[in-house]
Structure 1
Amino acid sequence: MCTLSWVSVHEGYVLWFNRDELNSRGLETPPKVQESQQGVAWLAPEDSDSGGTWLMVNAHGVTTVLLNRYGDELAQTPNMARVTRGRLVPLTATARTADEAIERVRREDLSKTLPFHLISIDAGGGVAELRWDGFAGHLAAGKDVSPPITSSSFRPEEVASKRRALFPTHPSPRSLREFHHEHDPAEGAVCDYPCFVDSTNSDLFGG
């Protein structure tokens, strides 16, 4: 179960992201600064099991976040070799806008990639997303992309509905912090998770 939210502020935006992982998975590598061949610095953690990352912010103020999608039928056979989704976020490391970031991933061959939800936000207020369902990509941008965005393998529709109900009516940096740190199993809070999952982090980025 993962949840993403953000809010625009005078200087850019504030973004929160909770990532819940199975206890059986290895610990993530802490965020580190890297530099592209073009000289653009970017910051991201790394998945120790499959490589790649689910979250990145670069020196241009662009943040890209990847959430797994559940409940979609796959456009591939069960024994088909699959390529990790974690490779996608680094493709956006030098992007200057959210639209540019999403377009770079859209051009990739995704036929061997499991379903995902990719969101990019830039310091100018731009927001764009790509939803890959295993068959095709679905694009959206601007006001058609709004928080919170939730991913859950455990009752996905129910979890998403409950988290939308808990989301602040008038989001602010403070209210989003409270939203992402809420623990209330009876209400489906962001840090409500089954016993086989750990809420591994709450990441705060400001663009």
Structure 2
Amino acid sequence: MANTTVRGALSIHGTNPQFLIEKVIRSRIYELPFWKEHCFTLTAESLIDKAIELNSIGGVYGNQKPTQFKCLLLKLLQIQPEKEILVEYLQAEEFKYLRALVAMYIRMTFRAVEVFQLLEPLPIDFRKLRERSMAGYTLTYMDEFVYALLTEERICDTILPRITKRGVLEETEGLRPREGHQLLGEVDSVVF
């Protein structure tokens, strides 16, 4: 079935990975023609083609209609691609919406240390991203999106799982201290 998590999928944060998307939104996604026509049989490899076609990020718009970005995020949660595949997708600089999608997936599903190790290098990406929301389209940038993933509780109408603060991870998990504050100016009080 297209609406079930792949057999043998690991539990994420103690739950079925799909449950990281709220039930109401998940139900609306399952009813969308885009989901039924384009996401039904997607695999880790074929998902790339759909992600490349994206023209915006976002959660819901209009009358609480989920965006294609949110649909593909749910599909990623269903199929649970291998970590190596996701890292390769993240490295694909030419496809900014694929990179944004994978960054969001990594933030939602990976351990806190891995999230910081994989996403912190991305703020050197200053490309523009269109964000679709209830208010219409707005403009944001990849570095702002990644910063929000690391600091905010809710992105693209999705409640993100709690993440351990960077300072705590440096002390307990051996995460290397950040080198400088390239994008954050000289603000030392900012803690991821």
Please state which band the TM-score falls in when normalised by the shorter chain. Answer: under 0.3
Higher relative contact order (CA 8 A, sep 6+): 1
Judging by fraction of residues, say which structure has more strand.
1
TM-score normalised over the length of structure 1: 0.26
